[in-house]
Amino acid sequence: MRLTLHVNGEPHEVEARTDESLLDVLRRELGLLSVRETCGIGVCGACTVLVDGAPMSGCLLLAPLAEGRELTTVEGLGGDHPVQRAFEQARGFQCGYCTPGMILTAARLLEEQPQPSEADVRVAMSGNLCRCGSYVKIIEAVLLAAGRKEEVWTS
């Protein structure tokens, strides 16, 4: 079927099967390769997409159900978003596979809660896994983006 997906501020006509996940369609039809599949069952967050601003697992959402909603992937943040800058500065990544999902979840957290505590970050980000275990520096990055660098727990 043909779908119109609003991705990163632009409408896109795409071809998809009715039972296809948003993850597969974004990768194949639009080449948005920052959206990645790890678990395929909605527990790891590597395929996180902001759907009307809320982080969702692209592997669980059927593509037709994403029609008419505003979708954001990390490509849509432009590269100079405060959260991206903070991740780079704090080195909140190792292999980088989980990083787009982490950044999108953190961006949403800071919208809802501009001054999160370290504990807030841990809770809000717990749906995103980093097997490299960069968590300490990711927390640092999120607090840095919130302008709360002085509260970083490890320093």
Q: Which of residues 1-30 bind another protein (CB under 8 A)?
A: none
Binding piece for another protein, criterion CB under 8 A, among 50-58, 60-68, 133-141, 143-151: 133-141
CA distance linking residue 137 with residue 86, whole number of Å: 10
CA distance linking residue 137 with residue 125, whole number of Å: 13
123 binds another protein (CB under 8 A): yes
Binding piece for another protein, criterion CB under 8 A, among 50-58, 61-69, 124-132, 144-152: 124-132
Q: Which of residues 46-65 bind another protein (CB under 8 A)?
A: 46
The CB-of-108 to another protein minimum distance in angstroms stands at: 15
Contact 71, 50 (CB under 8 A): yes
3-state secondary structure of 54: strand
Binding piece for another protein, criterion CB under 8 A, among 42-50, 60-68, 108-116, 143-151: 42-50
Q: Candidates 21, 48, 72, 84: give the one binding another protein (CB under 8 A).
A: 84
Instruction: Catalogue the E-assigned strands of 8-148.
Output: 10-15, 48-51, 54-57, 70-72
CB-nearer residue toward another protein: 39 or 68: 39
The residue among 40, 1, 41 whose CA lies nearest residue 18 is 1
| Alpha helices in 64-131, H assignment, sequence order | 82-90, 99-112, 118-124
